[in-house]
Structure 1
Amino acid sequence: MNSELFREHEEGKKSVLDIYAKTEKGEFINIEIQVADKYDMKKRTLYYWSHIYGAQLKKSGSYSEMKKTITINILDFDLFPETERYHSAFRLYEDEEKFLLTDVLEIHFVEMRKLLSLWEKQAINLQKNEKERWLLLLEADDREDIRRELEAIAMKDPVMKKAFDQWEDLSRNDEKWFEYESRKKAIQDELFAAREAEIRQQRAREEGLAEGRTEGRTEGERQKALEIAREMLVEGDSLERVAKLTKLPLEEIEKLKQQLH
């Protein structure tokens, strides 16, 4: 379906869903792929879900005819430190007895780094696990070891074989391949820029702390010098001698002597 949702007023940019589809059952599906944690993904996904779900009412005019809306977020970063599972699914349940309020809301998060970690530990079998097989196909362009394993599976799986054939067709289309590579480079540049900004912020914080410590030491040393100067003036030492030993300005020693009197 048309994935253009709306146009933001301030800049005129389009907000686009990666995949916006409608199943034969009439259910709506939004699939998003995010490579950087630059948005509040939890609230963002609720916003997109509500926009798609709410748009149904404008067309049907009946709450009873509103269909299930499913959001699937595929992430190249960790979102839930609470779990080591790579796939988290959310629905509307009652707090205590866990019965379902309605099935119209379904939100999935797939954390690809956790899935890759499981595959690298040989904790999943791609021959038997179809879901993991198709998800790791997203990594096959960058991981030759994953690609080889999936190509072997594709020899027995006609649907995956079709996916690989279409990938090969894409690579032979210069215009499409250039578009793909340009998009990939733009994503990498964005990630590098975000990482560079983090490094600069960390350096600024460290330099600020170091500067604060230096200023703290300098002020502490000055207060100590003033205490010594007071004692020397009380003992009757000359202004010049006090200034020489404490390394304080002569004008400051003169003001200090006036305060003592």
Structure 2
Amino acid sequence: MCSEGIFERYINFYTDFAFKKLFGTEINKDLLISFLNALLHGKEEIKEITYLNAERLGTQEYDRRAVFDVYCKNEKGEHFIVEMQKGEQQFFKDRSIYYSTFAIREQAPRGVWNYGLKGIYTIGILNFTIYPDNTDFYHEVKLTDLATKEVFYDKLTFIYLEMPKFTKKENELETLFDKWLYVIHNLATLMERPQALQERVFTHLFEVAEIAKFNRKERYEYEESLKNYRDWFSVMETAENKGIAKGIAKGMAQGVEIGEKRKAVEMAKQMRTDGMPVESIARYTGLSIEEIEEL
């Protein structure tokens, strides 16, 4: 068994184990259906989903593969790629576009085809921010005509949820979507089911998310996943702190340098007033002759 230890009542939604257990298993697919319907804000109603193979290969054996967290389609044949992203990646947006191409390509049947496609949704639940200067946590992206500002193609949708920006408290939850984001963001810190979450779907969620009800295999797998998540978080925090420390040190050094320069300039001005030769002033202050002559 892992030595990490678990003290929470419910699993951490940001771990790979929790995300796939709650959103990626046939027995719990009502949770994913509820989340997707809440996410789409009534634009359509998903009644059924079918899980697809999460590992997709290219058209050739040697092509690069893609492994999705959750990959499914609804009763209309629309495809949904749902990804949990713990940390920022340099080419995160590129990855989203790349992953969507698998859902596009595999819709092409053999033989005659008129190129008609079903809708594709790529959904990223992000434990970081991609728009730091924007306070909105929900971002829906489509191909758009820049001149007319009209959607050019409405069957390809990217939805990003910046979870650090979701700060609503329990008494501020209004919609089912609010409640889902609250659960995702706070599940590991809850010791009991909040009064605001009385919908049947959350009864199911809190039942399957309770760690004490796991069998031995599930508990081991969750401990491993939690350990990996905590290790990753520690690495990221350390890197960030080092970056901050370097920035502070650099700033302090720059501050000292600026202060010393100002002192040298003031000293040079006084020396010039006293009639000292420019060459001597340069030797004593470290300033260049050009700098001194401009004073």
Please report how far the alpha carbon of residue 28 of structure 1 lies from its aligned counterpart in structure 2 after TM superposition.
1.8
Aligned to 1:143: 189
Query: In structure 2, which of residues 59, 74, 79 is the aligned counterpart of residue 28 of structure 1?
Result: 79
Secondary structure of residue in 1 paired with 2:187:
coil
Task: Tell me, yes or no, if the aligned pair for 1:29 and 1:70 is still in contact at 8 Å.
Answer: yes
Please state if 1:56 is matched with 2:102: no
Q: Describe the superposition over 1:39-64 as per-residue Cα deviations: whole angstroms up to 9, x where unpaired.
A: 35444423332x32443266657462
Please report how far the alpha carbon of residue 199 of structure 1 lies from its aligned counterpart in structure 2 after TM superposition.
1.1
Please state if 1:184 is matched with 2:229: yes
Rounded Cα–Cα distance in structure 2 between residues aligned with 1:96 and 1:112: 32
Please state if 1:193 is matched with 2:238: yes
Please state if 1:203 is matched with 2:203: no
Please report how far the alpha carbon of residue 206 of structure 1 lies from its aligned counterpart in structure 2 after TM superposition.
0.7
Rounded Cα–Cα distance in structure 1 between residues aligned with 2:270 and 2:141: 65
Q: Describe the superposition over 1:111-135 as per-residue Cα deviations: whole angstroms up to 9, x where unpaired.
A: 22333x2336x4323xxx2222223
The 1:194–1:52 alpha-carbon spacing in structure 2 relative to 1, beyond 3 Å, is farther
Please report how far the alpha carbon of residue 150 of structure 1 lies from its aligned counterpart in structure 2 after TM superposition.
6.2
- Letter aligned with residue 243 of structure 2: E
Query: In structure 2, which of residues 173, 180, 186 is the aligned counterpart of residue 124 of structure 1?
Result: 173
Q: Describe the superposition over 1:160-204 as per-residue Cα deviations: whole angstroms up to 9, x where unpaired.
A: 322222222447633122123213212321331232133133224
Please report how far the alpha carbon of residue 99 of structure 1 lies from its aligned counterpart in structure 2 after TM superposition.
5.0
The 1:57–1:130 alpha-carbon spacing in structure 2 relative to 1, beyond 3 Å, is closer
- Letter aligned with residue 207 of structure 2: D
Secondary structure of residue in 1 paired with 2:193:
helix
Task: Tell me, yes or no, if the aligned pair for 2:79 and 2:121 is still in contact at 8 Å.
Answer: yes
Percent identity of paired positions between Structure 1 and Structure 2: 22
Rounded Cα–Cα distance in structure 1 between residues aligned with 2:232 and 2:277: 69
Secondary structure of residue in 2 paired with 1:148:
coil
Please report how far the alpha carbon of residue 89 of structure 1 lies from its aligned counterpart in structure 2 after TM superposition.
1.7
- Letter aligned with residue 52 of structure 1: F
Structure number with the higher helix fraction is: 1
Please report how far the alpha carbon of residue 143 of structure 1 lies from its aligned counterpart in structure 2 after TM superposition.
2.9
Aligned to 2:118: 67
Please state if 1:213 is matched with 2:258: yes
Rounded Cα–Cα distance in structure 2 between residues aligned with 1:39 and 1:150: 40
> What is the CA RMSD across the aligned residues, in angstroms?
4.0
- Letter aligned with residue 162 of structure 1: H
Query: In structure 2, which of residues 120, 126, 141 is the aligned counterpart of residue 90 of structure 1?
Result: 141
Structure 1 stretches of at least 4 aligned residues deviating more than 6 Å after TM superposition: none
Rounded Cα–Cα distance in structure 1 between residues aligned with 2:159 and 2:168: 19
The 10-residue stretch of structure 1 (29-38 or 13-22) with the greater mean CA deviation from structure 2: 13-22
The 1:223–1:47 alpha-carbon spacing in structure 2 relative to 1, beyond 3 Å, is farther
The 1:3–1:225 alpha-carbon spacing in structure 2 relative to 1, beyond 3 Å, is farther
The 1:53–1:174 alpha-carbon spacing in structure 2 relative to 1, beyond 3 Å, is closer
The 1:200–1:81 alpha-carbon spacing in structure 2 relative to 1, beyond 3 Å, is closer
Rounded Cα–Cα distance in structure 2 between residues aligned with 1:233 and 1:102: 74
Unaligned runs of 5+ in 1: 8-12, 235-242, 250-261
Secondary structure of residue in 2 paired with 1:149:
coil
Secondary structure of residue in 2 paired with 1:107:
strand
After TM superposition, the score normalised by the length of structure 1 is: 0.65
Q: Describe the superposition over 1:6-50 as per-residue Cα deviations: whole angstroms up to 9, x where unpaired.
A: 79xxxxx9864322223332222111222333435444423332x
Rounded Cα–Cα distance in structure 2 between residues aligned with 1:41 and 1:205: 29
Unaligned runs of 5+ in 2: 1-51, 59-63, 285-295
- In the alignment of these two chains, the number of paired residues is 223
